[in-house]
Chains A and B, each alone.
Chain A
Amino acid sequence: MKKYNVKTTISYPMKGATGKTGNWRVFRPILNKEKCVKCLRCWIFCPEATVIRKDDDSIDIDYDYCKGCGICANVCKIKAITMKREGIEK
Chain B
Amino acid sequence: MAIKEIPTEEYYLPGSAACPGCPATMALRIVFKAIGKKMIMIVPACCTAVIESLHPNTSFNIPTMNIAFEAAAAGASGVEAALRKQGKDDITVVAWAGDGGTYDIGIQALSGALERNTNFIYICYNNQIYSNTGIQRSGATPKYAAWTTTTVGGKTEYRKEMGEIIQAHHIPYAAQACISYPEDLYKKIKKAKEIKGPKYIEIMAPCPPGWRFGMEKTVEMGTLSVETGAWALYEYENDEIKFNGISKLLLEEKINPKPIEDWIKFQGRFRHLFIPKKDVKKLKEIQDHTNLIWKRYRKCYL
Q: Across the two chains, which residue of chain B brings its CB closest to A83?
A: B216
Q: Across the two chains, which residue of chain B brings its CB closest to A72?
A: B216
Cβ of A40 and Cβ of B215 under 8 Å apart? no
Cβ of B52 and Cβ of A11 under 8 Å apart? yes
Total number of A residues with any Cβ neighbor in B under 8 Å: 39
Cβ of A47 and Cβ of B4 under 8 Å apart? no
A70 to B58, CA, bound (A): 25
**Total residue contacts A-B, CB cutoff 8 A:** 118
A32 to B12, CA, bound (A): 26
The answer to whether B144 has its CB under 8 Å from any CB of chain A is no
Q: Across the two chains, which residue of chain B brings its CB closest to A67?
A: B20
Q: Across the two chains, which residue of chain B brings its CB closest to A18?
A: B17
| CB-CB under 8 A for A73 and B15, given A14-B57, A14-B59, A44-B182 | no
Chain A stretch 18-65: residues in CB contact (< 8 A) with chain B: 18-21, 24, 39-41, 43-50, 53, 57, 62, 64-65
Chain B stretch 1-52: residues in CB contact (< 8 A) with chain A: 3-4, 6, 8, 10, 12-18, 20-23, 25-26, 29-30, 52
The answer to whether B173 has its CB under 8 Å from any CB of chain A is no
Partner of B20, one of A10, A47, A83: A47
The answer to whether B108 has its CB under 8 Å from any CB of chain A is no
Cβ of A15 and Cβ of B13 under 8 Å apart? yes
A70 to B218, CA, bound (A): 10
A23 to B67, CA, bound (A): 31
| Residue with the highest number of chain A CB atoms closer than 10 Å, among B10, B20, B214 | B20
Cβ of A12 and Cβ of B8 under 8 Å apart? no
Total number of B residues with any Cβ neighbor in A under 8 Å: 38
| CB-CB under 8 A for A17 and B54, given A45-B182, A47-B20, A48-B14 | yes
The answer to whether A13 has its CB under 8 Å from any CB of chain B is yes
Q: Across the two chains, which residue of chain A brings its CB closest to B7?
A: A53
B54-68 interface code vs A (CB 8 A; 1 in, 0 out): 111111110000000
How far, in Å, is B53 (CB) from chain A's closest CB?
3
Q: Across the two chains, which residue of chain B brings its CB closest to A73?
A: B216
The residues of A that contact B216 with a CB separation of less than 8 Å are 69-71, 73-74, 83
| CB-CB under 8 A for A17 and B53, given A45-B26, A47-B21, A69-B216 | yes
Partner of A16, one of B3, B14, B26: B14
Cβ of B10 and Cβ of A71 under 8 Å apart? no
A43 to B56, CA, bound (A): 29
The residues of A that contact B218 with a CB separation of less than 8 Å are 47, 69, 71
A47 to B215, CA, bound (A): 11
The answer to whether B220 has its CB under 8 Å from any CB of chain A is yes
Cβ of A71 and Cβ of B16 under 8 Å apart? no
| CB-CB under 8 A for A21 and B14, given A11-B56, A41-B3 | yes
The answer to whether B219 has its CB under 8 Å from any CB of chain A is yes
How far, in Å, is B103 (CB) from chain A's closest CB?
23
How far, in Å, is A66 (CB) from chain B's closest CB?
8
A21 to B57, CA, bound (A): 14
Cβ of B13 and Cβ of A57 under 8 Å apart? no
Cβ of A12 and Cβ of B58 under 8 Å apart? yes
A53 to B10, CA, bound (A): 10
Cβ of B21 and Cβ of A12 under 8 Å apart? no
- Residue ranges of A at the interface with B (Cβ–Cβ < 8 Å): 9-21, 24, 39-41, 43-50, 53, 57, 62, 64-65, 67-71, 73-75, 83
8 A-B pairs with least C-beta separation? A16-B15, A70-B216, A17-B53, A69-B21, A69-B20, A67-B20, A65-B14, A17-B57
Contacts A/B (CB < 8 Å), 27 sampled: A11-B56, A11-B58, A12-B57, A13-B61, A14-B13, A17-B16, A17-B57, A24-B20, A39-B3, A43-B3, A44-B29, A44-B30, A44-B182, A47-B18, A47-B21, A47-B22, A47-B25, A47-B218, A48-B14, A65-B15, A69-B21, A69-B215, A69-B216, A69-B218, A70-B215, A71-B216, A74-B219
